[in-house]
Structure 1
Amino acid sequence: MEPLAGRAALVTGAGVGIGEEIARELARQGARVAIHYAGSSAGAHAAMAEITAAGGEAVALRGDLRHVADCERIVAEATDTFDGLDILVNNAGVTRAGTIEETSEALYDEMFDLNVKGYFFCARAALPALERSGQGSIINITSIHGGGGFPNHAAYAGTKGAVIGFTRSLAIELALRHVRVNAIGPGVIEVPRYFAVPGYTTQFGDTLVPWGRVGRPRDIAPAVAFLAGDGAEFITGQTLYVDGGTNARMGLWWETPSE
């Protein structure tokens, strides 16, 4: 039997990259999936078509999760489509690198509104359905930046650190209501936007990770599916880093000279 058979999931930011692969993986494991997107219509609808062609159930929903009204509408549409909701994956987010001087109020607000506010209000909107489910699970996508410093990412790291604190506190708040709340901390995961960075290559990405290769969205999706399923029934309030060892490594790093 498929591990997530009969369950309904909403994955935000699922039109591209990590979110798109999470939606596909949850469907492969039997879940019915609402695929939220903001601008990536082609990816969201391609994922929906693939899932339905394989015999699954999926719907694509567009919305701007910087706004509470859209958070509430997207959750309501997903819940109405599947007559319930068991899994919420808060993944929609934005990265804007820059020094503190380069980070304008508009850029700061964009990141916090989507990366933190959107997570909070999607979770709040989904809570009644997740509680009715009896096996509700919220999975928040954070980052290695939430627990470690890196130049030119102060605002972004602030959002991802906030997600970790939000995850822990909400997990305790909802424990006796039988809604689990966990987070996934991806490391260096090669997504399309990486190739817009001057000088980036996969070979360079491989050098950044102790495991010896850059991560890919398919590395994140099974971890999300695990936290959504029965095998993680006694796990809540945790952040699982899926990063090839990056978070465990000391900040000071060098190659040992060969003799």
Structure 2
Amino acid sequence: MIDLSGRKALVTGAGMGIGQGVAVELARQGAEVAVHYPPFEKSADATVERINGLGGRAATVRGDLRVVSECRRVVDEAAAALDGLDILVNNAGVTRTRDFLEMDEEVYGEQFELNVRGYFFCAQQAVPHMLERGGGSIVNISSIHGRGGLPRHSAYAATKGAVDAFTRELAVELAGQKIRVNAVAPGIIEVPRYFDIPGYTTEFGNTLVPAGRVGTPEDVGRAVTFLASDAADFITGQVLYVDGGTSARMGLWWDQGDRPR
């Protein structure tokens, strides 16, 4: 049983997609949730409405986590709105697909500023708030791209490899202060932007995953909720793959009758 009653959580990039699924699942298990969303999104109302529908408590905070001072402000405002902070879910990120030889400094920098630097300084700002409450849990959203290669994702994959390394190091550094640090690495999680990819359909996505279906934001939310809870009290420094078996499958491929239909 997962019970997060009384816990205070900040989820970055929670206005839609995976972040929304995580925020709602934390609220479902009793946490009070600060829903962060970036300046280029209009609001996080949909997430707040879903949390309110569960009888939960939500606050919103807006900010550009590519900027270090904004990371600090967002965390402090979330802690003030919730009267404390026990859980940080670093989820806000950006994916940009480019051929390696076409990658430019601006697109490269944008991904590292948000996907790595944003995680780092949000975590740094969150730790003192957690220490005031006797400890806490940080969950970083990584990706299967941190483990295996896929063309046109060189910079994005590098950011997620950095997140995995950061997760392990910080877990060791903070273990003595009762702050656990883990990561969740999603595979194909169907979010609205997938349908902007030419030719993508749910049926096609299902054929790519050994489990025979694409994942949902709720799948990631359940994994994050587990890692943030006392049920995972002896788990730190780990990367949990939520990918329906994608990262476990051998890359050498030929059809031997075992491909999902």
The amino acid across from 1:68 in the alignment is V
The aligned counterpart of 1:64 is: 64
The aligned counterpart of 2:42 is: 41
The TM-score normalised by the length of structure 2 is 0.95
1:209 and 1:50 mapped to 2: Cα distance?
Answer: 29
What is the aligned residue count?
257
The TM-score normalised by the length of structure 1 is 0.96
The aligned counterpart of 1:174 is: 174
Q: 1:2 to 1:152 in 2, by over 3 A?
A: closer
Runs of at least 5 residues in structure 1 that lack an aligned partner in the other structure: none
The amino acid across from 2:41 in the alignment is S
2:257 and 2:221 mapped to 1: Cα distance?
Answer: 37
The aligned counterpart of 1:133 is: 133
Q: Tell me, yes or no, if the aligned pair for 1:143 and 1:160 is still in contact at 8 Å.
A: yes
2:184 and 2:97 mapped to 1: Cα distance?
Answer: 21
CA deviations 1:103-158 (Å, max 9, x no partner) are 11000000000000000000000010112222400000000000111111110000
Q: Tell me, yes or no, if the aligned pair for 2:27 and 2:54 is still in contact at 8 Å.
A: no
What fraction of aligned residue pairs are identical, expressed as a percent?
62
Deviates more, 1:73-82 or 1:32-41: 32-41
The aligned counterpart of 1:228 is: 228
Runs of at least 5 residues in structure 2 that lack an aligned partner in the other structure: none
1:102 and 1:213 mapped to 2: Cα distance?
Answer: 33
Q: CA deviation at 1:40?
A: 3.0
The aligned counterpart of 2:86 is: 86
1:53 and 1:203 mapped to 2: Cα distance?
Answer: 31
Q: Any idea what SS the aligned residue of 2:165 has?
A: helix
Q: Tell me, yes or no, if the aligned pair for 2:8 and 2:84 is still in contact at 8 Å.
A: yes
The aligned counterpart of 1:189 is: 189
1:157 and 1:95 mapped to 2: Cα distance?
Answer: 9
1:61 and 1:243 mapped to 2: Cα distance?
Answer: 30
2:18 and 2:131 mapped to 1: Cα distance?
Answer: 26
1:54 and 1:187 mapped to 2: Cα distance?
Answer: 27
1:59 and 1:49 mapped to 2: Cα distance?
Answer: 11
Q: Tell me, yes or no, if the aligned pair for 2:2 and 2:229 is still in contact at 8 Å.
A: no
1:185-224 pair list within 5 angstroms: 185-224=185-224
Indicate the RMSD between aligned Cα atoms, in angstroms: 1.3
Q: Tell me, yes or no, if the aligned pair for 1:15 and 1:41 is still in contact at 8 Å.
A: no
The aligned counterpart of 1:10 is: 10
1:173 and 1:257 mapped to 2: Cα distance?
Answer: 47
CA deviations 1:39-83 (Å, max 9, x no partner) are 3334x1121123224321101111000001110000000111111
